[in-house]
A and B are shown apart, each in its own frame.
Chain A
Amino acid sequence: MRNWYMIRMLVSFGVFIIFLGATGTTDVVISDNGPEANLPFLFAAFAIAWLGFIVYAWYLASQHSRLRQDLANMQNQLTDIQNSINNQ
């Protein structure tokens, strides 16, 4: 389910890129008033890259914790089987 959500998000990103391509000739105001004129672009690029890494790390961590939960459930299941065998 979560994979589907991520795939849908990525497909939306692809559509967005194509949309940008289609509207690529729109008027653009480029500020060239100084060496630091494009600071927001630099900030956005680094912020998005780091955010991407963090979101993926969070996704891996959630997968890892789900795995631990599955292991704990299996442990409980094994204990139940052991108890039922002992009772017999």
Chain B
Amino acid sequence: MLLQSRIMLILILIAMTASLYLIFIVVPTDVNLGISQRIFYIHVPLAVLSLIPPILVFATSMVYLVKRSPQWDAIAHSSVEVGLLFTTLALITGSIWARPTWGVWWTWDPVLTTFLILWLVYLGYLLIRSYSTDPDRRARFSAIVGILGSINALTVYLASELWRTIHPDKVIGPTAQENALDPSIQLGILVSFIAILLLFVYTIIFRTKLHTATDQIGSIQTQLDDLVHSIVRK
């Protein structure tokens, strides 16, 4: 394992331990929402980071369509896969929080619905990739789907501005309200966010490297098979 990789894993471990310590020991229990409010410390970073892959996919897919270099397709594919994981976990943790707070597991609120559409876009992207066998065609089609699907991420972020929603206000980003969080909660959210961000970055880098290595090995294997056939013919 490379040194950078080890350092990154150690940093993730430290940040995760610190965030768990803050969430379960330091941060006070919310008076209104009770102990289930602590779900926010994992749900908010997961939900916010779910909106990063569409930006990556949009940029890398555009570059791929211009340059046709497989490395950009590898980044886009890895971003979608990690995005799907984060979106799935954000949906589940959000649903678990909603049950004691709103009384239902799920409601067709604009924020939740657009988020579910984002999840379906990620799934559609991966389904399109699994259908196509030709690597160039697969990368081209998925780049187009990736670009079109990324636009939906904007509706997720702006859903609370465009429609009436019961979802709590945004706490991170340009349209978030000032002092949306209590100072005692801010530290917990910040450390938890850093921990999950490190995990997010590490996972995307690792997945991209794996994707590139798989493509390269597949290409070498094809060349090797051709060589074996030419030797047999001789």
Contact yes or no, B107 A7, CB < 8 A: no
Contact yes or no, A14 B39, CB < 8 A: no
Complex partner residue of A10 from B39, B88, B93, B108, CB under 8 angstroms: B88
Contact yes or no, A74 B217, CB < 8 A: yes
Contact A60-B210, Cβ < 8 Å, known A4-B130, A10-B123: yes
Which residue of chain A has its CB nearest to the CB of B39?
A45
Complex partner residue of A42 from B38, B108, B126, B213, CB under 8 angstroms: B38
List chain B residues, Cβ under 8 A from A21.
Answer: 106-108
List chain B residues, Cβ under 8 A from A20.
Answer: 95, 104-106
Contact A30-B93, Cβ < 8 Å, known A7-B126, A41-B39, A63-B210: no
Contact A32-B34, Cβ < 8 Å, known A41-B99, A48-B93: yes
Complex partner residue of A41 from B91, B96, B210, B228, CB under 8 angstroms: B96
What 6 additional pairs, Cβ within 8 angstroms, besides A25-B104, A60-B203, A70-B217? Answer: A17-B106, A21-B106, A35-B29, A38-B100, A71-B217, A74-B220
List chain B residues, Cβ under 8 A from A81.
Answer: 227-228, 231
Contact yes or no, A35 B221, CB < 8 A: no
B interface: dominant SS? helix
Chain A residues with a Cβ closer than 8 Å to the other chain, count: 45
Q: Is A56 an interface residue (CB 8 A)?
A: yes
Q: Is B26 an interface residue (CB 8 A)?
A: no
Residues of B participating in the A interface, judged by any CB pair closer than 8 Å: 29, 34-36, 38-39, 42-43, 46, 84-85, 88-89, 91-93, 95-97, 99-100, 103-108, 116, 119-120, 123, 126-127, 130, 199, 203, 206-207, 210, 213-214, 217, 220-221, 224, 227-228, 231
Which residue of chain A has its CB nearest to the CB of B105?
A20
Which residue of chain B has its CB nearest to the CB of A31?
B100
Pairs A–B under 8 Å by Cβ, sample size 8: A17-B91, A17-B106, A24-B104, A35-B34, A39-B35, A45-B92, A53-B89, A84-B231
Contact yes or no, B214 A67, CB < 8 A: yes
List chain B residues, Cβ under 8 A from A58.
Answer: none
Residues of A participating in the B interface, judged by any CB pair closer than 8 Å: 3-4, 7, 10-11, 13-14, 17, 20-21, 24-26, 28, 30-32, 34-39, 41-42, 44-46, 48-49, 52-53, 56, 60, 63-64, 67, 70-71, 74, 77-78, 81, 84-85
Distance in angstroms from B23 CB to nearest chain A CB is 8
Contact yes or no, B35 A49, CB < 8 A: no
Contact yes or no, A24 B106, CB < 8 A: yes
List chain B residues, Cβ under 8 A from A41.
Answer: 36, 39, 96-97, 99-100
